[in-house]
Amino acid sequence: MNRSLIPAKETRVELVVVNSRFIATAAPAFSVEEARTYINKIRNEFADASHNVPVFVIGHGSSVISHCTDDGEPSGTAGRPALAVLQGSGIGDIVVVVTRYFGGTKLGTGGLVRAYGDSVREVLRVLPLAEKVATQVLMMAIPYNLYERARLLVGDCHGELVDVDFAADVTLTTRFRLEHVTSFQARLQDLSAGKVAAEIIETDPETIVPLGMLGGEIL
């Protein structure tokens, strides 16, 4: 299964290389406009920094837009090595800004390449990931005597319990990856002796799901 990995949330790390501080900040971005807006936000936050080197990869697979600049560092020593690490990670819809505070000692061409590449590697190492998956939201009315078993069944089928409403029956709203829906429907029929059917009320081909939820593996 091809997976469209993306950042789950903004993440930041800091490295010190020969007295220079390198602060790498990564975040999700789903368009070039979002990426550029985020880059400007970081530049404003670290307006007194020596450099704010931006890189981003928008999209996945054959539909990808990537960008980098050196932001005043010697040509090819900052943006390109940072982008190479990002592209090699398999993560898309991501923007990273590596902020440098010059520490008074020049690092040389090779030192800069390593420092910017290592900064991106380090933020990716701790970055929590999510993925885009196709999901469906299902709703069903469950008799009270089947509620606990139905609730456990949702988890057994790698689903998420979105909402519970207690009235004449218990109405469950659940979310599943597309590939788990048929199995859940069949097992729900078995559990209820054919008396309960789940109604599909929403389909989303690009739901953002943290890894480890809805049956996703943790890398």
CB 208 within 8 A of CB 215: no
| Alpha helices (runs of H) in the chain, residue ranges in sequence order | 32-45, 79-88, 108-126, 147-156, 178-191
Domain 4-127 has CATH 3.30.230.30: yes
CATH topology match: 4-127 vs 131-210: no
Tens of pLDDT, residue by residue over 156-176, are 999 999 999 999 999 999 999
The CATH code of domain 131-210 reads 3.30.70.240
CB 17 within 8 A of CB 119: no
- Find the mean pLDDT for residues 71-80: 97
Both ends of the chain: CA-CA distance in Å?
Answer: 14
Tens of pLDDT, residue by residue over 62-73, are 789 999 999 999
Tens of pLDDT, residue by residue over 107-132, are 999 999 999 999 999 999 999 999 88
Query: Where along the chain do its domains lie?
Result: 4-127, 131-210
Tens of pLDDT, residue by residue over 26-66, are 999 999 999 999 999 999 999 999 999 999 999 987 789 99
pLDDT over 90 at 218, yes or no: no
Tens of pLDDT, residue by residue over 131-140, are 888 999 999 9
Note the pTM of the prediction, 2 decimals. Answer: 0.76
